[in-house]
Structure 1
Amino acid sequence: MENYTLELDPRSGKLLSLYLLTDIKNTIELRKKILSGELKCCILKASMIVDPFQVVVGVNKAVLRQLNNKLITRSLFTEILYCISSSTNISQSLAKFGINDNDKNIIVAIVHSKDENNEFEDNIRPQIDGQLTPISQLKNYSDIELIKKTYKIDKEELKVSSLADSIVSRIGADYQISLK
């Protein structure tokens, strides 16, 4: 499976598609295009993601905030990075989860309606100089120690919960607030 697509909260009428790309050679160019709004997607560091569901929960939160006109950041794409982070510091969230000039492995997240599902192939993929990799390979690119440190997850917690479940519980902690 090259990508991962699923329906978000039904009230949004949106889908999320995730793509893992590795060995990226034009990260600096991609970062400039993201910052200028030229690329209509969110690009995340693959090293900070342990499971696609981690992204799904953050994206769903961001989409619901957008739907309710409650964005904390300026755009849906920065809101996604903010929602995936456990920090309330916007700059810190963007720096930790958004790409920097040295990142070689990325996840492209596209929020779309059912009739807009060609955005990746038509507009985004041609601009990325890297290998499309099955999303099932994500764990090979995750920096588990950095993820545990970022989300403040210790050995004791992992005795009773998986890393992915611990992360999702932190991301979803104020999920009910997003629904209001």
Structure 2
Amino acid sequence: MMGGLTLHLPQFPHSSVHIGLYTSVSNAATIRKELLAGNTRYSYAFVDPRGVLSLAHVLAAVYRALTDMQAGTLRTKTLSSEIVFAFGGTMNIAETLRRFGINDNSDSLLVVKVDTDQMERTNSVWNELEGIIQGTSIPVTDENIEKLTDIETIRKNYKIQQGISLANRSEVTKIVTGAIALRGYL
């Protein structure tokens, strides 16, 4: 795996977070079909990167999903689907999965796998993804994520008013991570 990233969050010392970023994906419809069929080989969070601003944005969703899992308040069936759901700022699961998850026409993907007991080895995660995704792996960096972001998708998904500039990524990241953190509390 050329550009995969593996992180350990200090708040979850027994978990590894694996993040991959892919372009030129040609088999999104097949991945989505297998995912919806419940194929356990596809137990990853497949995210449409057009709605992602930065690595901080990704980590906010992962953190929210992990804290909800720890609290016993998952709203979806799996941690992987909870990560996709965590990207949304609303409690509407179906709508959030549709907006942020993989669709049949996705040509780029951000993929997250959280290993909560560190039983999976990093190399096996990347090898498995190479067998699942027909696309080009690129390094997971803010610069590469930014190239795939669609600002109007961000504006629509987070209902950001037209008067607010989306040019300053760090400011917009604060807005969307706040929406992730506060979902269900307001």
TM-score range, shorter chain: 0.7 to 0.9
162-171 or 102-111, which deviates more: 162-171
Aligned partner of 1:172 among 152, 162, 181 = 181
The question of 1:143 aligning with 2:135 is answered: no
Could you say which residue in structure 1 is the equivalent of 2:4? 3
Match for 1:135: what amino acid? V
2:148 is matched by which residue type in structure 1?
Y
In 2, distance between residues paired with 1:69 and 1:12?
18
Question: How many residues matched?
Answer: 176
Distance 1:91 1:32, change over 3 A: same
SS at match of 1:135: coil
Q: 1:29 deviation in Å?
A: 1.0
Gaps of 5+ in 2: none
Q: CA deviation at 1:38?
A: 2.7
Which one has the bigger helix percentage?
1
Q: 1:107 aligns to what SS in structure 2?
A: strand
> Matched residue of 1:20: which SS?
strand
Give the corresponding residue for 1:119: 124
| % identity of equivalent residues | 26
> Aligned letter for 2:11?
P
CA gap 1:69/1:3 in 2 versus in 1, 3 angstroms: same
Are the aligned partners of 2:89 and 2:183 in contact in 1 as well (CA < 8 Å)? Answer: no
Q: Secondary structure at the match of 1:109?
A: strand
By how many angstroms is 1:27 displaced? 0.7
Measured in 1, the distance between the counterparts of 2:10 and 2:134 equals 32
1:133 aligns with 2:134: no
The runs of 4+ residues in structure 1 deviating greater than 4 Å are 157-161
Q: Which moved more, 1:2-11 or 1:129-138?
A: 2-11
Q: In structure 2, what is the Cα distance between the partners aligned to 1:98 and 1:156?
A: 25
Contact 2:4 2:18 in 1 (8 A): yes
- Tell me if 1:78 matches 2:85: no
Cα distance in 1 for partners of 2:23, 2:166 equals 28
TM-score for both structures, normalised by structure 2: 0.84
Aligned equivalent of 2:48: 45
1:124 Cα deviation after fit: 1.9
Aligned pairs (5 A) from 1:83-102: 83-102=86-105
Shift of 1:157: 6.7
Once the 2 structures are TM-superposed, how far is the Cα of residue 114 of structure 1 from its aligned partner? Answer: 4.4
Q: C-alpha root-mean-square deviation of aligned residues, in Å?
A: 2.3
